[in-house]
Structure 1
Amino acid sequence: LFSVFLIPSVLLAGWIGYYLGVFSPVELNIQARGPYLMVFMMHRGAYHQILEKIERVGKLLDERKIPKTVACAIFYDDPRDVPLESLRSEGGYLVDRQLSLEHPFGQQKIPRRTVIVARVKAHPLIAPFKTYGRIVDFMKMHNLKHSGPAMERYLADGVVEVEIPFEAPDLEMLRRTARSLRQ
C-alpha cells in the first residue's frame, strides 16, 4: 500500500521539478551585451515580488501600443548583505525607443558592457538558485569583481538569462575558460 502512494508521488515530484527547471543545466558565457533601453518601476523589498512591477510596466506599454521586447529586472543589492525590506530592484521591459513617462514609471539606458551570462531554462523563481551560485564561484575562481548590478532577462521560451557585469584583467583568457565550462 505504501508503494502505491510513494511511486506516483515521486513521479509527480520529478515531473514538477523537470517542468520548473530544477534539473536544467546552466550555460555560462562571457559576452558583450547591450546597449538596452529599459522602461521600469522601482521596487523595494523581496526580489521575488518584482513580477508585479514587470506586469504593470507591460500593461502601460500595451495601453500605449508600444512594442516590448524582453521582460527584465535589475537587482542592485546582494540579499546576503542587505535586509529583505531594503533590497532595491527595478522591473520592466526592454523597448526600442525613448518614451515620455511619468512617475512611478522610469526609463534608463543600460550601456554595452562585458558580462558573465548564466542561461538556464527554468521558472524565474528557480533560476536564481541555479545561476547565481555558478556565477559567484566563477568570479571567485578568477578573482573578478562585479562592476554593476545583476540583470535578469526573462525570454519567451522559458529561458532566464542572468547578466553580471565585471572587471577583468585578461578578458580573452576568461572567454576561453567560459567556453570550456560549457563542454
Structure 2
Amino acid sequence: MAVRDRTGRDYAARIARAMTLVTARADDPPGLEELAATAAFSPFHFHRVYRAIAGETPAETAARARLQGAAIALLKGGETVAVVARRAGYGSQAAFTRAFRAAYGLPPAAYRARGGLGFPMRSDSDKESTMFEVTIRSTTPLHLAAIRHTGPYDRIGEAFGRLQAWAAGRGLMGPGTRAVALYHDDPRSVPAAQLRADAGLTVGPEVPGEGEVTLLDVPGFARVASLVFKGPYAELERAYDWMYRSWLPGSGEEPADAPVMEEYLNDCRMLPPAEWLTEILVPLRE
C-alpha cells in the first residue's frame, strides 16, 4: 500500500473519531483541544484537516445535529420552545430562535404551528388532505460500503458522517457517489435502542471493506413505490405515515419482503433544510 493511501486512511479514521464525539455531544460541543486530542492532530491544524475531510467545520456539524434534534422535538413533543432551546444547548431562547430561523427559515414557534416545512398548513378537520406524488418504477442493483446503525433512526447521520470520512480518506467521494440508507424495523413497533439501519455509499467492486465498514449488495427491484420528499429529515416520518396509511391501502399494491430504502438526493451540508430531497423507496411485490 502506498504511503499516501495509508496516510489518507489514517486521517479519515482519526477525523471519524472526532465526528463521533461532536455529534454525541452536539448540545455541549467539545473544545478544540479535546477534539484535536481525540483525532491525534495538532490543534494548529485540526480544523483544516477536519474541514477537508468532513466538508464542514466541527461547529457546523454540531449545529446541524442540534437543530435537527430540536426540529424533531418541536414536531413530536409538547415541550415549550424554551425547554427545547435549553435541551439543544442554547443559552437563551433568543439565541435558539435566531439559529433556528437562519437554518429553517421560520422561528421555532411558527415551525411547530405550521407542522414543518414539507407540509402545508391545514386545519384539524383537513388532516387527510396532504398528498404526495407516488410513482412506481424499477431500480438497479447497488453495491454499497455500509456501516450498521443501531438506535434511533434520526441519529443515522452519525454513521453517515463516519462513512463519508472513511470514503473521503480513500478518494472514493465523487459526483457520482450515491448515499442510501436501508431501514429494517418499524420505529413505532421496535424500541428505539434496537432499531437497525444501514448507512451506505455506492462504491466500485474493487473497494474492500474494513473495520466497521462492510460491503452490502442491494438487488434491483422490478417495482418500487417512490416518493420524493422535499424538506427536513425531521419530517420524514409523517411522509411514511401518509404513504402507509393512505397510499398503500388504496393502491392495490403489497410491499415485498425487503427493507424500505431512502436515497439522499442532495447534500444537506450545502443546502438549507427546506431544500433537502429524500427519495423514499418501498419495494413492491411483482
Identity %: 23
CA RMSD of aligned residues (A): 2.8
Report SS of the residue matched to 2:234: coil
Report SS of the residue matched to 1:58: helix
1:92 equivalent in alignment to 2:200: yes
> What TM-score comes out, normalization by structure 2 length?
0.50
Q: Which residue of 2 aligns with 1:145?
A: 255
Q: Which residue of 2 aligns with 1:79?
A: 187
Q: Could you tell me how far 1:144 is from its partner in structure 2?
A: 1.2
1:148-181: CA deviation from partner (whole Å, max 9, x where unpaired): 101111111621001111214xxxxxxxxxxxxx
Shift in CA distance, 81/87, structure 1 to aligned 2, threshold 3 Å = same
Alignment check: 8 A CA contact 2:116 2:235 kept: no
Equivalent residues in 2 for 1:17-166, closer than 5 Å: 20-23=117-120, 26-68=132-174, 69-113=177-221, 114-141=223-250, 142=252, 144-156=254-266, 158-166=276-284
Q: Could you tell me how far 1:100 is from its partner in structure 2?
A: 0.8
Alignment check: 8 A CA contact 1:150 1:165 kept: yes
State how many pairs are aligned.
160
Shift in CA distance, 11/51, structure 1 to aligned 2, threshold 3 Å = closer
Q: Which residue of 2 aligns with 1:178?
A: none
RCO comparison, higher one (Cα < 8 Å, 6+): 1
User: Which structure 1 residue ranges, 5 or more long, are not aligned?
Assistant: 1-8, 169-183
Shift in CA distance, 17/93, structure 1 to aligned 2, threshold 3 Å = farther
The whole-number CA distance in structure 2 between the counterparts of 1:56 and 1:42 is 11
1:83-125: CA deviation from partner (whole Å, max 9, x where unpaired): 2111111113223444111221111111110211111111122
> For structure 1, which segment, 69-78 or 93-102, has the greater mean C-alpha deviation from structure 2 after superposition?
93-102
> What TM-score comes out, normalization by structure 1 length?
0.75
Q: Which residue of 1 aligns with 2:66?
A: none
1:14-50: CA deviation from partner (whole Å, max 9, x where unpaired): 6x96984233963211110121111111011111110
Shift in CA distance, 131/100, structure 1 to aligned 2, threshold 3 Å = same
